[in-house]
Structures are given as structure tokens and as C-alpha cells.
């Protein structure tokens, strides 16, 4: 690689503008560590005159990022827009075709088009780096690709979204409901002020687990339908009951190979307070990797925000500047195979079921009889009457049962007039 490197940054949102500031302040440090001189020669965003927390050089500003390729000689491009399609994909694709290295934190782009873009990067002999797409400042992708390269990984799971982890942690510590804590998270900048849906419904974590799967198991990015649930239906009452049971609610992303088939899921889990994952609170992320011969590896740190994300983006930059041309997913795209999906119906867990029912004789037995009919055996029952409302809360912890059994059984309860609300279901982490 030549000594003088021209850089472009596309997207000057929260991540892009922080990266711009960091690059400008660390030019000498980067040169000292790599022997390369870098220069930001082009930046692009929707609005040139938008008020930003850091000033920009308007002389190098392009409203249309595609014009950069015609007017500037770019060596490395940062894509920080964040869309899965449209201009984000077009920019990355164009850069790779023109033999420009690409660095991006864009998890949705990689989760959807990573296979195609990786193959293109390999063909053009340039890097496609996306360390910042999963778990912010935690070097989990590099750990899998390099540090654990000779291990056979069979499972990777963890807390992959700092927003939801903060909300669940705060609900436990404050006793406040979901809506109140969400507003807190938005004020603190942990959740999007406008539409935090992608964090809350599990989609953000799911995009990350798909990337982790492909890297961990040397496979193509899966396209199969999977279990994906967010935290919108978790109530303060569930948090309180879990606490009494010495459990905590965590949104987990899970990926593992079961009987040579790939299983991926994102959903709330009840985990023991005595486990490592049960004690990862606030905005922290944690990823646990199980493999042979290494055993269990744990990585923890801040998973979101401009600081941790920029840290990962700059680590990718230094890797490229040091001349490390490598496969985006650790091995050649030609050697990565598609893997059959595990049947979600066969996924089994113990379940937490919370029923709001009329406080009358025979209701509990009707519920347990229905569970038994669908081979769902009861492990524990907690019944709390509410005399003022003439109702009761019934919490049932089951032994392990399949998703199919649980789904078919619970659907019947919609027709039971003695059950006031459709039961809340939270899976216990095995």
C-alpha cells in the first residue's frame, strides 16, 4: 500500500461526525502506528449547513456521495449512513468495484447483502471491514476471525443491544414500567427519540446474530425465518416476579448448531442472577462464544454509541493501513456453504407463563389440564389474588417443552372467558 492514503466519510450522523472528529485528531498517532499518512479528502451527508456538534470542512463536502468517485482518488471509504439498501448499498458496491477499501458499522447492510459484497471485495482484492457492526467497541468479530480461528465454534450468544439492556435493567432497579423507562432512555440518548422500534422489537440484535453466525460457523448468511421477539410486552410485574425467583429478564441473541443445522433466535429470556450473563446490566453488551478446544470465551463492553463504534472503525482502518488484506468473513466466500435451518417448532425451553384470570374456583385446574393435554408439565405455580378486582395473577413455570406445543396450547386460551388477558410468555434460558 502507498504511503499517502485518501479517505472519504459518507454519512455525518452521530457515528459519522464523531468518526470525522476522531480521525482529524489522531492523524499523527495513526501515522506513528502504521507509517501511513492519511487525509480526509471527501465527506458527504444530506445537509451541508446542518448544525453539527463538530465543525466540518465544507470545501470537501459532497451532497451527492456518488460524485466523489468521479472527482476524487479514494483509497478507503467509511460508509456511515446505515441503510440496508438504496444509497448505502450503492456506495459500498461502487467503492468495491473501484478497488476502494470499505469500512462500515452498517449491520443491516451486512446481514442482508454481506455475502454478495464480500465476494465482490475478494474479487477486487480489497477489504470489506465491519467490526463496528456488532457489539460496538467489543472486538468480537476480530476475535472470531483471528483469535479463535482454529477453534470449532458450536454456539455464540449474548446481549447484543445496549438500549434494551438498559431498559430492562432500569425497570428492575426503579420498579417503573416500560413506557416510563423508554422515555428515560430516549432523554439519555440510549434510544432513538423518534422511532426506537428496531432496537425494541429485536431486529437490531437479530441482524447482529446473523453476522455472528456466518463468522462463527463459516457459513453463508442465513435467510430462514427465525424466532424474533422484542421487549415491548415485558411488564414491570414480570420484572418483579422474576426478581423474587432470583431471575432477570435479558434480551438474548442466540446462534448454535443443533444436529448439523443452524438455529438462530432473538427473544427475551429469564436468566439466573448467578450467571455471568445475568449480571451484565445497563448499556453493556456481552458475547459468549463456546468452542473446542478453547471452551467458553466472554467479551464484554459498551455495545453502542459514537465512542465505542468509532473505536472499532479505527481498528479496521489500522488493520487496512498495515496491509492486512483478508477475507471479510474469515475464509473465502467459495468455501462458505449454506446450512440447513433447524426447525423452530422443535426448539425447547422451560417457560414462564403469566395469566390474569377471574378469581373463581376451577380456573387454575382448567389451565393446568390444558397444559397437560399439550405435554407441558408444571414445575412451579405462584398464585396471587387481587380481592379488589376479583381477579388473580397465576404464574406457571413449566418444564421444557417445544415451541410447537406452547404455541398450540396458548392459542386455546384466547377462547377462555375466565382468562382476562392473553398470557405473557418468557422463555427461560437453558
C-alpha cell at 197: 422500534
CB 230 within 8 A of CB 205: no
In whole angstroms, give the CA distance from residue 388 to residue 367.
23
Dihedral sign computed on CA atoms, order 346, 349, 352, 357: positive
Dihedral sign computed on CA atoms, order 47, 50, 56, 59: positive
CA distances from 309 to 269, 273, 312, 314, 352 (A): 26, 29, 5, 9, 35
Helix, strand, or coil here: 99? coil
C-alpha cell at 294: 478453547
Instruction: Tell me the backbone φ, ψ of residue 42, rounded to 5 degrees.
Output: -155, 140
C-alpha cell at 335: 468455501
* DSSP secondary structure, 58-83, as one string: GGGEESSGGGHHHH---SEEEE-S--
Active site members? 208
C-alpha cell at 89: 448499498
C-alpha cell at 188: 439519555
In whole angstroms, give the CA distance from residue 108 to residue 138.
18
DSSP structure class, residue 264: E
In whole angstroms, give the CA distance from residue 408 to residue 390.
29
In whole angstroms, give the CA distance from residue 70 to residue 58.
18
With CA atoms as reference, report the closest residue to 275 among 144, 157, 148. 157
Taking only Cα atoms into account, the Rg of the chain, rounded to an integer number of angstroms, comes to 24
DSSP structure class, residue 145: I
Amino acid at each position: 500500500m502507498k504511503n499517502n492514503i485518501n479517505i472519504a466519510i459518507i454519512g455525518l450522523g452521530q457515528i459519522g461526525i464523531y468518526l470525522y472528529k476522531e480521525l482529524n485528531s489522531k492523524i499523527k498517532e495513526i501515522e506513528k502506528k502504521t507509517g501511513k499518512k492519511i487525509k480526509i479528502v471527501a465527506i458527504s451527508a444530506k445537509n451541508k449547513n446542518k448544525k453539527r456538534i463538530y465543525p466540518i470542512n465544507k470545501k470537501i463536502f459532497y451532497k451527492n456521495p456518488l460524485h466523489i468517485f468521479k472527482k476524487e482518488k479514494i483509497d478507503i471509504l467509511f460508509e456511515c449512513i446505515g441503510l440496508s439498501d438504496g444509497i448505502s448499498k450503492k456506495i459500498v458496491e461502487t467503492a468495491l468495484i473501484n478497488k476502494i477499501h470499505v469500512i462500515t458499522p452498517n449491520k443491516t447492510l451486512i446481514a442482508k447483502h454481506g455475502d454478495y459484497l464480500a465476494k465482490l471485495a475478494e474479487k477486487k482484492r480489497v477489504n470489506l471491514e465491519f467490526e463496528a457492526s456488532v457489539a460496538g467497541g467489543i472486538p468480537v468479530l476480530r476475535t472470531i476471525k483471528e483469535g479463535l480461528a482454529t477453534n470449532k465454534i458450536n454456539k455464540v450468544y449474548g446481549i447484543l443491544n445496549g438500549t434494551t439492556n438498559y431498559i430492562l435493567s432500569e425497570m428492575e432497579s426503579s420498579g417503573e414500567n416500560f413506557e416510563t423507562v423508554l422515555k428515560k432512555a430516549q432523554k439519555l440518548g440510549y434510544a432513538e427519540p423518534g422511532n426506537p422500534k428496531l432496537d425494541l422489537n429485536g431486529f437490531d440484535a437479530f441482524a447482529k446474530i446473523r453476522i455472528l453466525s456466518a463468522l462463527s460457523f463459516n457459513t453463508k448468511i442465513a435467510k430462514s425465518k427465525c424466532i424474533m421477539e422484542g421487549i415491548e410486552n415485558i411488564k414491570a410485574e414480570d420484572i418483579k416476579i422474576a426478581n423474587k425467583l432470583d431471575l432477570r429478564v435479558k434480551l438474548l441473541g442466540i446462534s448454535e448448531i443443533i444436529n448439523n443445522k443452524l438455529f438462530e433466535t432473538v427473544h427475551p429470556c429469564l436468566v439466573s442472577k448467578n450467571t455471568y450473563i445475568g449480571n451484565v446490566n445497563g448499556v453493556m453488551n456481552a458475547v459468549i462464544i463456546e468452542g473446542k478446544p478453547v471452551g467458553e470465551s466472554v467479551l464484554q463492553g459498551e455495545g453502542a454509541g459514537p465512542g465505542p463504534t468509532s473505536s472499532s472503525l479505527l481498528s479496521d482502518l489500522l488493520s487496512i493501513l498495515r496491509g492486512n488484506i483478508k477475507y471479510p468473513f474469515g475464509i473465502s466466500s467459495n468455501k462458505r456453504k449454506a446450512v440447513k435451518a433447524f426447525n423452530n417448532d422443535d426448539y425447547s425451553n422451560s417457560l414462564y407463563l403469566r395469566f390474569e384470570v377471574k378469581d373463581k374456583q376451577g380456573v387454575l385446574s382448567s389451565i393446568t389440564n390444558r397444559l397437560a393435554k399439550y405435554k407441558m408439565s408444571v414445575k412451579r405455580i405462584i398464585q396471587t389474588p387481587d380481592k379488589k378486582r376479583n381477579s388473580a395473577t397465576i404464574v406457571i413455570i413449566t418444564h421444557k417443552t417445544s415451541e410447537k406445543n406452547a404455541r398450540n396450547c396458548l392459542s386455546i386460551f384466547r377462547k377462555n372467558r375466565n382468562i382476562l388477558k392473553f398470557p405473557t410468555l418468557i422463555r427461560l434460558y437453558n
